[in-house]
Amino acid sequence: MSSPRTSAPARRPARRANDLRHLTPEQLRRRRMRERQRRRRRRRRRILLVLFVIAMLAAAWGITLAIEHWTGAPSSQSQSAPAPTAPPASQSAPPSSRPQSESTDVPASADPLLLLANKDNPLPAGYAPDLAYLEGGSYQMQSEAAAAFDRMKNAANATGLHLMACSAYRSVERQTELFNAEIQKWMGQGMDEAAAREQAATVVMVPGCSEHNTGLAVDVGSITNQRVEEDFENEPEFAWLQEHAAEYGFILRYPADKVEVTGVTYEPWHYRYVGVENAQKIKESGLCLEEYLAQSHTEKREDP
């Protein structure tokens, strides 16, 4: 048995043909004109729809390009990675969140005090500085740097300040532990190992690439501020270091205006021992260590 609904389409053309038979030529002409207009309107709607789709695709492409421009990374990469949460600040954490660096491919210096450790220049395998404890016995540095730090600290504190070390030498093994813990943290949030490793490297220096592995770096704080955060620049101890650190052979290693070169965010607490002569030259030149090394290499080559 068929329902009335299924038989309806079959009846409709018959009724229509029946209607047309009763139309006058004038009515037929008008009807055809209306149908032509309807077809024209449908064509126009289809063209508008195609134009709209093209416009949407162009807009999506434009947004993708803009995202790549702003983030400096292909947007497909940032979309596939889970949104990173800010890592907790830690006193033991090495140079944090490293932005894209322009170029830190710098020739090595013969001067051991100008030893370069950064993400492009890991320390040689088996590197082991001769270490000495800082006064107070909590941290170690390369022996010459340790003595220089104690002199600097005592000079500052003789003026009524309270300069102190918050972190200094870290072995490559310890750096490896920190780095692996960071990888585990990101894998725990669902990243695969390769992605977690890449993410960890933006927070913790790859083992052998941290200045703290050299024994020549020290994180400095004051009695009221041992957070190793940017607000250390407001402390009188920071102002004193700006003026006097070079006299003791130390430089501010990651200045705010050299982030593009060092690949490390501004760290007003992180000082690097390079010896008095180098420190004073670097301070006068306004260069960072990478630039200073590149410049001395060029100057040497140009010597007759």
- List residues near Zn ion by CB under 5 A: 219, 270
Nearest approach, Cβ of residue 138 and Zn ion (Å): 15
Report, in Å, the least distance between residue 89 CB and Zn ion: 12
Q: Could you tell me the two tokens for 186?
A: 């990101």
Residue 140 tokens, joined: 């170690």
The smaller minimum CB distance to Zn ion, of residues 167 and 278, is found at: 167
Nearer to Zn ion (CB atom), residue 98 or residue 270: 270
Residue 216 CB, nearest distance to Zn ion (Å)? Answer: 11
- For the bound state, the minimum distance from the C-beta of residue 95 to Zn ion, rounded and expressed in Å, comes to 6
Residue nearer to Zn ion on the CB measure, 134 or 196: 134
In whole angstroms, how close is the CB of 94 to Zn ion at the nearest point? 6
Residue nearest to Zn ion (CB): 270
Instruction: Tell me whether residue 153 or residue 270 sits nearer to Zn ion (CB atom).
Output: 270
Residues designated as active site: 267
DSSP annotation string for the chain: ---HHHHHHHHHHHHHHHHHHT--HHHHHHHHHHHHHHHHHHHHHHHHHHHHHHHHHHHHHHHHHHHHHHHSS-HHHHHHSPPPPPPPP-TT--S--PPPPS----PPPSSGGG---BTTBPPPTT----EEEPTTSS-EEEHHHHHHHHHHHHHHHTTT--EEEEE----HHHHHHHHHHHHHHHHHTT--HHHHHHHHTTTSPPTT-SGGGTT-EEEEEESS--S-SGGGGGSHHHHHHHHHGGGGTEEESS-GGGHHHH-S---TTEEEE--HHHHHHHHHHT--HHHHHHHHHHHHHH--
CB of 178 to Zn ion, least distance (A): 12
State the distance between the two ends of the chain, measured CA to CA, in whole angstroms: 108
- 169 versus 248: smaller Cβ distance to Zn ion: 169
| Closer of 182 and 219 to Zn ion (Cβ) | 219
Angle formed at CA 252 by CA 248 and CA 258, multiple of 5 degrees: 150
